[in-house]
Structure 1
Amino acid sequence: MSAHFEIHVNDMDRAKQFYSKVLGWRFTPMSEGGGDEAAYHLVEGDGIGAEHGLTGGLLRRMDKSHDAGSAIRGCTLTFDVGDVDAVYATALANGGSEALPPTDYPGIGRVAYCEDGQGNVFGFITSAGESE
């Protein structure tokens, strides 16, 4: 089984910097002209790729973004990380804002959500047993 996600952004350069610092992703422009002017950038990085059954991209938003703190529109992506608290702190230090602070859920793990500064809310999880 495979899956593909797309994160809609207004500022491609800012989004690339944010996700690069927070999740260690790299990006490849997928349209003529390349660079930040490209409307689509393929996401690459640990845990992302066909060999893992997951591909993703940053897509230039077709309309205005939602205001910070507004209701979620679309899907929420949650990424498996080794240390929720460290990744959450990195997200906040790089322009993200709090959506759900790191919280323990018995039998599930430690989870946090943040907003990426462009109207997208995404989460991090360290599954129960991984950090113990």
Structure 2
Amino acid sequence: MPTVYHFDIPVDNADRAQQFYKEVFGWNMKKLSSQVNSKVELWMCETEDENGRKGITGGMMKRDSLPTVTNYILVKSIDEHTSKINNSGGKVTLHKTEIPNVGFFAMFLDSENNLFGLFEKGK
């Protein structure tokens, strides 16, 4: 069964937001912008629980490119799930996009116009 794998947080001021999440949760953000899309500012972090077990990854993007907190669901095939989403009343908002050395993601609206993403690991 697919599970929530990643989240993105929209930010107005990346430096301020990075400081906030570092102070509150101990998250260290790493800038990935140029690796994905030069027009999108993107920062990533990995989370872990109190026992050091890896949690889901998180990211931050400028608010103008991402209007709301967005959850990403890990799937084996974005292409397969894109068909299911389209056939069930959802729509593609961003087609499958490669994140070099990481995998692929795509963005969708569900039947209620809620934004979510799919993530497929690279090979």
Same-fold call, TM > 0.5? no
Q: Which has the higher strand share?
A: 2
Give the TM-score, by structure 2 length: 0.44
Give the TM-score, by structure 1 length: 0.41
